[in-house]
Amino acid sequence: MNDKNQQILDAIQNRYACKKFDKDRIISEEDFNTILEAGRLSPSSFGFEPWKFLVIQKEEVRNKLLPVAWGAQNSLKGASHFVILLARRGKDVVSDADYIWNIMTEVQRLPENIALQKKEFFGNFQKNDFKLLENERTAYDWASKQTYIALANMLTTAAFLGIDSCPIEGFNIEAVEKLLEEENILDSEHFGVSLMAGFGYRAQEPGVKTRRPQSEVVQWV
């Protein structure tokens, strides 16, 4: 195995859902920006980037999140950086949404005729292939799936930099969204909370990583 292969596997082997962070160790600005860039540059279906990353550093906001985010207790109290990943609401990710048109014309810089073709193709995908137009929740759930791709890249990048992390789904979505809205952090008309993550440095060593063998996970056909 060459050095690059081994470095990648070593980083992923060393990565775990950190249960206790060293609150006195702070991630450098350069390193954390690299983690954010890994998320920003992540792939998304059709390249529509239906996400936003909130970096929650204010202690008073973290403290308010504690009662409604049971899975984030250690991260909120000790992680150097705490991120909430938002997903676009369903109305923003349908084929005729202003957001989708803006992405195609202003970000992807597609000529109008190509953008119209992509819009039609995307609409067919949503309606017939993935059945995403049954209700607003199905379209939102599709957008939320994309945030997991971004977070996976952020976690892996952090591991490669020797930084620990903890992905988090343990929270009350309605309560968290209400709190963030009251704090004027969340535009709930366009975004919902998808998941969270803490980033920092471990205060204790984890146990041995356990996973099923590749022979049970991979099927070659």
Q: Alpha helix locations (H) across the chain?
A: 3-14, 29-40, 59-65, 73-78, 98-102, 112-124, 136-160, 173-182, 214-217
Domain ranges, ordered by start, for the chain: 13-94+133-217
**Which has more confidence, 51 or 207?**
51
Please give the mean pLDDT across all residues of the chain.
Answer: 97
Q: State residue 92's pLDDT score.
A: 97
pLDDT of residue 197: 98
83: pLDDT strictly greater than 90? yes
pLDDT digits (tens, 9 = 90+) for 172-219: 999 999 999 999 999 999 999 999 999 999 999 998 999 999 999 999
Res. 80 pLDDT band, cuts 50 70 90: very high
- Per-residue model confidence (pLDDT) at position 168: 98
Residue 110 clears pLDDT 90, i.e. is over it: yes
Report the 10 Å Cβ neighbour count for 49: 20
Average pLDDT rounded to a whole number, residues 109-129: 98
Whether 27 has a pLDDT exceeding 80, the answer reads yes
- The percent of residues in the chain predicted with pLDDT above 70, rounded, is 100
The reported pTM is 0.95
Does pLDDT of 1 surpass 80? no
pLDDT at 2: 81
Q: What's the rounded Cα separation, in Å, for the pair 44 and 47? A: 5
| C-alpha to C-alpha distance for 196 and 172, rounded to whole angstroms | 12
Residue 136, pLDDT score? 83
* CB neighbour list of residue 86: distance below 8 Å, 6 or more residues apart: 51, 52, 53, 54, 147, 186, 191, 192, 193, 194
Homologous superfamily of 13-94+133-217 in CATH?
NADH Oxidase (3.40.109.10)
Which residues is 98 bridged to in the sheet? Answer: none
